[in-house]
Structure 1
């Protein structure tokens, strides 16, 4: 289950935004969830039936027993074409009552008036969730929250202790801030004669957020990552690139290629998961025995998270039942039970203090799980919900030009912001 699906937002935007603020029709539309929980509702998930049918069948059965006047019809859509399906349902007035969404998918639905504002309909539940998770489905330029936070994910940072020690760095004190990262990276490149880079990836929008740059104005009308902090970050990355502290192949790196650079010990740090650790154990035992696990680099004190949510259709005929069910699926008890079946994390307050997320048992899986859970308590979703894949490409292209010296970091980010703002206007 991928945790970030911004690439699908464009399809939703194209069909949904022309709709009126009255939504897709079909009656209903009340945000009053205080009435009797009853009626038939439809619940749509995203590529979950194949692996979790028994879990959801049991969850739905328990809900219907708790509320005898309800019936939940569960539909599961494949990952491919999911945004097209949502947009077609929105345009045709057949959007399910409760819908599995990511922040990028909820944004156009909220702007079209089809996503219920839970700050109005479900305000009493807000305190049950981590603040950063609850804010994950808020839309710039709008007041309100448009989906219950469901499961979260993040990733710690792996580092090679042997390479740190060889460069004269303390292997037990990996960098925590960007300033520390840049200093360590330059030293490692210098000590290795440029043979060992520290990083294999160029900065992304999440890096600008973690560095402390402003990403977008509060009204949601324009991007702002070309501010002084943004320029400073890219300038420092240019210094790394010139010193070979940033891998020469970073301009065209993919997660797979960056992982290979780390596996072959050509780079000293890289994000990863428990699956990567298992791979290192089998393919690179010398690396595996020297693996360190640390938090993502950040100047803000908050790491990046990915969040999934459950949106309530604002046009549902059964608001109390739809809100109650979305809350039921995402409450602490059910999020914890789901997290123990799949490698995700609950978004509910206090859940990450459970021993399942705090105690290691010596396995790679728990090493990574404990490290990630600790950082999620105060994590935020840095990627603006209106930031599309086209915008990611625009930023990447301009960053590449700056690293190659074809334009200044300031000019690169100015150009990237202009390109992203043009794409934003095309969204409507």
Structure 2
């Protein structure tokens, strides 16, 4: 399935009226992942150049986890390419914090999207990491292992109940006890389907598939009824699909991958069945997000993730498709959809921990997150916020229609992408999946090889 690629927050964060970012992964609208392809390199550098005194033993190594005491002093808050579009918002948040806590001062620094991971690595190595840092889970992981992220389960446990359980868990690192960042904004997305194509195949257009097996069965039927002219899916399975299908993604210690288990093999075997029947688009192995989206636009693919922007385009460019659009939840066997989470980390070696923890909580509390969500197409991670009329009440617009569908699915969503799963690992998995679909190796062989390749990359980092 398709979508435009992007990176979370930064260049792709636009005012809420503008757009939601589409996702490349099947069955989701992905929050633009700001992480550059140099993240892996930066993580390796971080692990090798940090002082030994900062390494080992989790985030509290070399520093106290105690964040009690008077909230005062000057702290530095670093964000990821947000100043251009949201300067007034963050200046207002800072002013409100300093008013609530007299004697505090927050210095806000904003870094460009390009090279952000490298900048964090350099700051960590040089001992200049800011007190409060905007991070994604995969940028957080090496900082946790280097002992530079404060364990909030020890230092800020009183705030845990304020956040969605899945969001709080999104800032945990396998093999390391604790939670290492306040959950900030989330993103996810519903699934579009073509009601006419379902009806033409004899399927109930008002009862779309909700599980993978239902998708596979519908796909085979649609392909058969159309003589192989209509596919149901346009992308090969990704790591998130294995998670939603119910496969075990990593071992319990987080030291190796495990998606070659029985569930993983079963998923890839079903995709192979789809591919052979042309129920998976023949060009799925080389599809770009744009080409896959075009397949759905021209009604040669029956299901695809999308956004409010897509609905607007359908209305203008393909009115026949638009009038037959159905919106449903992401496909999942676990009952929980995938989400993308951004976090706010507190530097474990900050000299102003009480102020840093207080500000990390302040910028991510329900009031601030709700205000931010009304400026940009993201969702708050705070408990109860998704029940606000902004996320539940229809107003007749396409944007609201998609926002409500996405918000509904987020209440029990989880982040299926392991924090250790790098772009290189995604490529390794994709290459082996392609070989299986082409019949060059069995699904079991493909996933065994993918796990071996990913484990090697994990050991190198």
TM-score tier after normalising by the smaller chain length: over 0.9
Q: How does 1:74-153 map to 2 (within 5 A)?
A: 74-153=108-187
The aligned residue for residue 99 of structure 2 is 65
Q: How far apart are residue 28 of structure 1 and its match?
A: 8.8
Note if contact 1:44-1:74 (Cα within 8 Å) is conserved in structure 2. Answer: yes
The aligned residue for residue 417 of structure 1 is 451
Q: What whole-Å deviation, never above 9, does each CA across 1:275-316 have from its counterpart, x for those lacking one?
A: 111111111111111111000000000000000000001110
Change (3 A) 1:132 1:222: same
CA distance in 1, matches of 2:32, 2:76: 23
The aligned residue for residue 317 of structure 1 is 351
Aligned pair 1:23/2:23, yes or no?
no
CA distance in 2, matches of 1:388, 1:340: 31
Q: 1:298 aligns with which of 329, 332, 336?
A: 332
Aligned pair 1:10/2:15, yes or no?
no
CA distance in 2, matches of 1:393, 1:114: 29
Q: 1:230 aligns with which of 240, 259, 264?
A: 264
CA distance in 2, matches of 1:23, 1:76: 25
Q: 1:249 aligns with which of 249, 265, 283?
A: 283
The aligned residue for residue 307 of structure 1 is 341
Q: What whole-Å deviation, never above 9, does each CA across 1:38-65 have from its counterpart, x for those lacking one?
A: 0100000001001100000011001001
CA distance in 1, matches of 2:112, 2:51: 28
Q: How far apart are residue 5 of structure 1 and its match?
A: 4.2
Q: How far apart are residue 31 of structure 1 and its match?
A: 1.9
The aligned residue for residue 338 of structure 1 is 372
Residue range with higher mean Cα deviation, 273-282 or 225-234? 273-282
The aligned residue for residue 191 of structure 2 is 157
Structure 2 unmatched runs, 5+: 1-8, 10-30, 56-60
Note if contact 1:204-1:396 (Cα within 8 Å) is conserved in structure 2. Answer: yes
Q: Secondary structure at the match of 1:159?
A: strand
Q: Secondary structure at the match of 2:326?
A: strand
CA distance in 2, matches of 1:298, 1:253: 23
Note if contact 2:39-2:139 (Cα within 8 Å) is conserved in structure 1. Answer: yes
Note if contact 1:30-1:319 (Cα within 8 Å) is conserved in structure 2. Answer: no
CA distance in 2, matches of 1:302, 1:252: 29
Aligned pair 1:267/2:301, yes or no?
yes
TM-score normalised by L of structure 1: 0.97
Note if contact 2:54-2:62 (Cα within 8 Å) is conserved in structure 1. Answer: no
Note if contact 2:328-2:405 (Cα within 8 Å) is conserved in structure 1. Answer: yes
Q: How far apart are residue 20 of structure 1 and its match?
A: 4.2
Q: 1:210 aligns with which of 231, 236, 244?
A: 244
How many aligned residue pairs are there?
425
CA distance in 1, matches of 2:54, 2:394: 48
Q: What whole-Å deviation, never above 9, does each CA across 1:345-384 have from its counterpart, x for those lacking one?
A: 0000111011111111110001000000000000000000
CA distance in 1, matches of 2:54, 2:205: 56
